Amino acid sequence: MVYAHIQPSPHLRAFVREYLVLHFRFSPADPAPVKPFPAPPTQGLTFYPRGFLTACCPAAGTATLRPRTVVYGQQLTRLDLVLCQGEYMMVDVQFQPGVLAKFLRQPLLEFVNQNVDAEAVLGPEVRRLNDQLANATDYGQLVPLLEDYLWPRLQAEKLTLRPIDRVSQLMRQAARPESLAAWASHACLSLSQFERLFRQQMGVSPKLYARIVRFDHAFRLKEAAPALDWLDVALHAGYHDYQHLVKDFQQFAGTTPPRLLAENTRAPEKWLGLA
């Protein structure tokens, strides 16, 4: 079994942020594993080579069986991911901010809160790649298979990164948010141009994306340092106070900060001892 965040090869790092590889085996006698999944600041391509996943949205009261391969845009609400019993495998390609729109050659507005069947968008190649991933006999084969698919396609699209793409990446990495006017200036655009182009590439406004990044940073910081007080977490992440952090947790995680942290300790990779 494995739970691994993997860096892409150097020639792909401008386009791919990271890969996430999961491979779990559960006893049929165990209850179906559930992972709380609050809104992350990510867009990408996910393969499910073995097993399947059902995504439940508590806010909408819906449950959706994921296709074998999906293209996903920016998620705005909490999901509960119900993994199949038995064997489950997921391989995720997380693109750098702004790259997925170029990879698909279309704005991401219609992909917000969506996991779209990748074969319908990208063609039958993704089905063949998913089969190759399922038949791999070693974890070391997975990333080369992904990159053998990604690199020729990225080259064929002749993708070039503009200042707004680099700003989007800086926003994703920022430990503390800057003003939108500052980000627009870094992108060499007026504020209105920056907001319009950013929404096309990311599917959401820069203000909303910056809030999701800040929320995600706060959650990851507390997860990495459980002894850190929640007020200190809020201030480190750029919140004015704890109540502003609570408001974002309610919107993007559907619960309070302490409860999300407690729920996450029961995530499959935690109780399997892989993370």
- The overall pTM is greater than 0.85: yes
CB distance 19 to 92 below 8 Å: yes
| pLDDT value of residue 233 | 96
Full domain range(s) for residue 201: 163-264
Task: For residue 269, tell me if it sits in a domain.
Answer: no
Task: For residue 179, tell me if it sits in a domain.
Answer: yes
Domain end, chosen from 128, 160, 192, is at 160
Q: Are residues 15 and 98 located together in one domain of the fold?
A: yes
> Could you give the number of structural domains in the chain?
2
Task: For residue 45, tell me if it sits in a domain.
Answer: yes
Edge-first strand order for the sheet with 62-65 is 34-37, 79-83, 53-57, 62-65
| pLDDT value of residue 29 | 81
Domain end, chosen from 160, 185, 201, is at 160
Chain segment 176-193, per-residue pLDDT in tens: 778 899 999 999 999 999
Q: Are residues 205 and 97 located together in one domain of the fold?
A: no
Chain segment 181-232, per-residue pLDDT in tens: 999 999 999 999 999 999 999 999 999 999 999 999 999 999 999 999 999 9
Q: Are residues 168 and 152 located together in one domain of the fold?
A: no
Chain segment 137-162, per-residue pLDDT in tens: 999 999 999 999 999 999 887 778 89
Edge-first strand order for the sheet with 87-95 is 2-6, 16-25, 87-95, 44-50, 69-72, 115-117
Task: For residue 136, tell me if it sits in a domain.
Answer: yes
Task: For residue 52, tell me if it sits in a domain.
Answer: yes
Distance of CA 239 to the CA centre of its chain: 22
CATH at residue 148: 2.60.120.10
Domain end, chosen from 119, 134, 160, is at 160
Q: Are residues 81 and 167 located together in one domain of the fold?
A: no
CATH at residue 183: 1.10.10.60
